[in-house]
Chains A and B, each alone.
Chain A
């Protein structure tokens, strides 16, 4: 390849050093020692050669990872003969990068040797859905940049394509926005707990060079109390009690959507955040707006009375105005599903809805002909099941009990209740971590290896390579996905990601023997 992009060279170097430093032994009784005879006798692989299909434009991995979601090229072929050279071929550097991730997962370690047992290998691969994502909430509790970078590395190992960054919320506003430094100066938990412009640039660049696009979400008009720390004039019902009447969780507070000054302010903030992004996508949020918050806000009441409009109209105007900023910048807007299904706001045709309340909501979005991503709380919420975090509530449980096991998430069908004509509307999906009960201390353990489930649901699609259905009744059993997921978990731990154990090790070493029906 002429003029190989630097981020591809870096990726190759990371694969080489990853293969060298990995110490993962195969998960069988006896571990690596079970293979020692086979390893002794094995032939050597001399090299892996990467090449792009001829005539392809050579762009960096980062550039390929941020082209519009519909036109990304992630396909690749990988051939590992029983001797000689292995070959990885793709249409793009992004495809080559995906192939490297596959190559890394093929090898085991024993006494310094790297080996596999199943050559020759022929792989032809491409994703079923382009959007395979993790949504991280950095507002309820803060995550240092290093945690985010480690998470991006792990995401890239399972070929995830998007980090959806729920950066701010009512509890804190950790994002330094150029031209609006007061938002984080007053809204972040502390000056150590914020993302500077440089931090954001580092995170986005780190992500992009690992094949991951970063979609920023500025949740509006709800979930914005923290904006009021710097700009109380823009926030209604800030800190109002009882919070349960004015918000889904404390502290209460929403943008004064009816105020012209507030709309103009929000537009300028979005305009500024756009300058920090490399993505063609951005989310304006829109979940859980609370009407009593505005209905009891004197300033909002005044404006509505003067203009003789209802709050719903003000909400429509607000969304149109903010989406207008994105449209003017050729950015694809994302919005939370309840804005459409509950509030029926007018959105642009290219809007992507985030379906979150229930998997059953997807059909309603599809009926409106809008593209969407799956983020259903009843399958994909990583935070469910840890009890209530609200104080003085002894018997309180998680609102989205029970815990979403990997098996539950894996059983998700992206096409359920959709007509075939609606299938193209599904861009993919994401598992979110809402951080009321999470922080740096448990990020890895609550996210991994469960997040890898979404990676396979949306990469592999409905069919396994042997032609059987991924969703068949027995695929979560030990002999299918479970043993591969256990292996991925041990690989993550080997690379410093504290993914949790899914089973006693006894079971991990004996696929199928701990199935419920074994």
Chain B
């Protein structure tokens, strides 16, 4: 008998960790005991007057545990575990509790707190004897993060939902508070349902920020009260615009899933669509050849030197800011084209009459727009050029998004601004699909090659940043610019790659076993995550032949 127990012990000792958690928790201990969910399995919140979005989150988790039919990725799939499942103990309940003294606020309220004061940490315990599992946190947001971890522990086979790794003990918190995804809804339009599905997938990866690049030169789909003519004329059609109700729908859907919505109205460049309703505010509108006055067609930028245009913009931003409860608001600021203004007689005559330089006028415009945002209680967010290429005065609170190159983060840090990493050389989801401009037979993507998940996964948020500057790094995000994307390929171009940065910025540099985070061990978990997304109706693409997904490591370059 003793010999039998001993041999069982040895066998289990050789079983590798099989969890498919994404992002992987900061601290994680698992055993090798099988547990299955009892038919009566329920989740209870030991929270006084639980907010409705917490109750909804619990219902969603219970629903997913019932409807996900994801079989473990091993040769033989779920049938490989059938014997083990039969003899497994049952888990009857999961209990959620807030730490004593924690305030009881809705997930939505917690998710939109100032980024430095959000509480996402949680602990999760699943005993191996079938007694109640528990999640504890300091906030409902932390409880939500714990629920998404719990959901990822379970596999399906033959009507049973089981895990093989009890007991489970997790203490988890994000390395960085900003873990985002940017979506451009201007080059091509995305219906609300597509955005909601994307938010669901983001939530499963514990992402915290949806950066909504809502408007650009091609279309202006955002209906802003008081400025409804801008979308009425600048959206692709009335069906391809976001009403106040749509916006509220998206914001509350995101908030309930622990996601803050950072909206961007890009200014003063990338604004040609405003010319449809307000030609008086746009310089070099639809000028040809576009390549001399814009990064891409159509040309057109706000006449920032004009005080009428600056006031129009500030008022528009103020009105838009009211639609979004987030503390963050981005005024964009990338790729301002000076040639556009050099040829614009109106801008030139204003500069002459006021005696201002181009940069002085731009700084004045920025002070007007940023001032309006601050008045609306917002923390301004800008693209890196506003700090690195232009001589404009910005509030110290400003958050700077680095996009041109990962090399530029250090320069932003040197100016003591907070940073969100979105470098095109690591995180652009649209790179590598060839040129979209016409009459360019051998044109390639400007940011070739394609950014593989492996490339994104190796991003180091603190590269070239001194320890004293590291507090400036808020996190980062992958980005989808949509010249070549629309609802037809949203899921396939975003997922599962966007989960790469979710782990980079949640887990940080170190895996729970103390070893450095690495692509070799990540792949099996990312496969797991991808198959879970498919269960939930997200058309995430295959990273490898299924043969490889079932045999971790055998399709490595060096195996």
* Chain A residues packing against B (C-beta within 8 Å): 31, 139-142, 170-172, 189-190, 193, 239, 241-244, 249-251, 385-398, 401-408, 410-411, 435-439, 441-442, 444-446, 474, 476-478, 482, 493, 498-507, 512-518
Contacts and interface: CB of A to CB of B under 8 A. Distances in A.
Contacts of B345: none
Interface string B281-316: 000001011110000111000000000000000000
B454 A387 contact: yes
A183 B218 CA distance: 53
B450 to A, nearest CB: 5
A516 B544 contact: no
Nearest to B458: A394
A391 B435 contact: no
A387 B556 contact: no
Given A398-B450, A516-B440, A391 B188 contact: no
Interface of A is mostly: loop
B159 interface: no
B193 interface: no
A407 B439 CA distance: 8
Contact of B557 (A239, A396, A403, A503): A396
Given A441-B540, A500-B488, A478 B450 contact: no
A247 to B, nearest CB: 11
Contact of B440 (A172, A435, A444, A476): A476
B433 interface: yes
29 contacts: A142-B546, A189-B547, A387-B452, A391-B557, A392-B519, A392-B559, A393-B519, A394-B454, A394-B519, A395-B455, A402-B448, A405-B435, A407-B443, A437-B544, A477-B439, A478-B438, A493-B488, A501-B482, A501-B486, A502-B436, A503-B437, A504-B218, A504-B219, A505-B218, A513-B286, A513-B290, A515-B440, A516-B437, A518-B438
B219 to A, nearest CB: 6
Nearest to B488: A498
Contacts of B485: 500-501
Contacts of A514: 296-297, 436-438
Contacts of B188: 501, 504-505
Contacts of B358: none
B114 interface: no
B436 A503 contact: yes
Contacts, number: 256
Nearest to B291: A516
Interface string B82-96: 000000000000000
Interface in B538-559: 539-548, 553-559
A170 B547 CA distance: 9
A391 B547 contact: no
A438 B553 CA distance: 20
A500 B557 contact: no
A503 B434 CA distance: 11
A69 B159 CA distance: 51
Interface of B: 77, 186-189, 217-219, 236-237, 286, 288-291, 296-298, 432-445, 448-455, 457-458, 482-489, 491-493, 519-520, 523, 534, 539-548, 553-559
A334 B316 CA distance: 65
A371 B267 CA distance: 59
Contacts of A407: 434-435, 438, 440-443
B448 A250 contact: no
A139 to B, nearest CB: 8
B434 A393 contact: no
B491 to A, nearest CB: 7
A464 B441 CA distance: 18
B517 to A, nearest CB: 12
A387 B432 contact: yes
A477 B488 contact: no
Given A139-B545, A403-B434, 13 more contacts: A388-B452, A388-B557, A389-B543, A402-B444, A402-B448, A405-B434, A441-B491, A442-B542, A482-B439, A501-B483, A503-B436, A506-B236, A512-B438
B545 A478 contact: no
Contacts of A242: 558-559
B443 A439 contact: no
B438 A516 contact: yes
Contact of B449 (A142, A387, A389, A445): A387
B187, B433, B543, B555: most-surrounded residue (chain A CB, <10 A): B555
A501 B432 contact: no
B488 A396 contact: no
A439 B432 contact: no
A395 B487 CA distance: 29
Nearest to A478: B438
Contact of B520 (A387, A392, A398, A502): A392
Contacts of A390: 555-557
A476 B458 contact: no
B523 A391 contact: yes
B297 A518 contact: yes
Contacts of A241: 559
A438 to B, nearest CB: 6
A407 B445 CA distance: 13
A2 B557 CA distance: 63
B492 A403 contact: no
